Structure 1
């Protein structure tokens, strides 16, 4: 799994228990998956269709640095299925895992748009 983004846990990210608010973490994951899908599918109109069971494994605290990892599971006709893990950057302890996140490429009318992709591409390879 490749870890793409790091987040520093700040006071505004905490819940009343003084640990990372799960909703904030899911917001970060959703944004990261959208950005990843937009780059992979070369379409700025990608949306989240589905997230499987969310497994919170540990907490994060103010001052912690977490990193978000994403891995492609499958390319569909108009979709990209990802899995995600968020872990503590310093301890490598897993904070959350999501086994299946389905992102869909849309056309100008908001309908699924076939993307024609079958494997992960790196931007540096597109520039050759």
Structure 2
């Protein structure tokens, strides 16, 4: 029987408070700090899905929608959107949450994560069981992004 897992089984949500040491000279969150946090979330999502070590192969569509400032509460949510043979796509969304619990998006990124065996060689990943129309739509969109990644790779990017 082929292993399969749901999107929800590997979903990750983390929360960070933007502190003074996270700020650049303009008083906004360093993009690199946010990239570190979202890469960690993507890695945890991938490890939860595969139950093995994973590495980041690429990040694309890293879109900064707006800045974050000191004392902002950041919520970072990651989930698997697509799986191939040894790799998967992980979507990571970042929000600022206000004191009322309202979340405003500030960043979205798509990661390609590769599952690794004990010798750091790519290994098979479990299939993804899609349970909702939203998950099915995300899968279809992920296939298009995967095709674009392949094309960019062929072109030397």
Alignment check: 8 A CA contact 1:79 1:102 kept: yes
Within a 5 Å distance, the mapping from 1:56-75 to structure 2 comes to 56-75=64-83
Moved more, 14-23 or 67-76: 67-76
Higher helix share: 2
Is 2:44 aligned against 1:20? no
Partner of 1:86: 94
Partner of 2:116: 106
Partner of 1:50: 58
Partner of 1:125: none
**d(CA) in 1 for partners of 2:79 and 2:51?**
17
What TM-score do the two structures reach when normalised by structure 2?
A: 0.69
Which stretches in structure 1 are left out of the alignment for 5+ residues? 121-128
**d(CA) in 2 for partners of 1:40 and 1:111?**
17
Alignment check: 8 A CA contact 2:45 2:80 kept: no
Alignment equivalent of 1:39, drawn from 39, 48, 67: 48
Shift of 1:103: 0.6
What TM-score do the two structures reach when normalised by structure 1?
A: 0.84
Structure 1 runs, 4 residues or longer, greater than 6 Å off: none
Shift of 1:93: 1.7
Which stretches in structure 2 are left out of the alignment for 5+ residues? 1-7, 130-157
| Paired residue total | 117
Shift of 1:39: 1.4
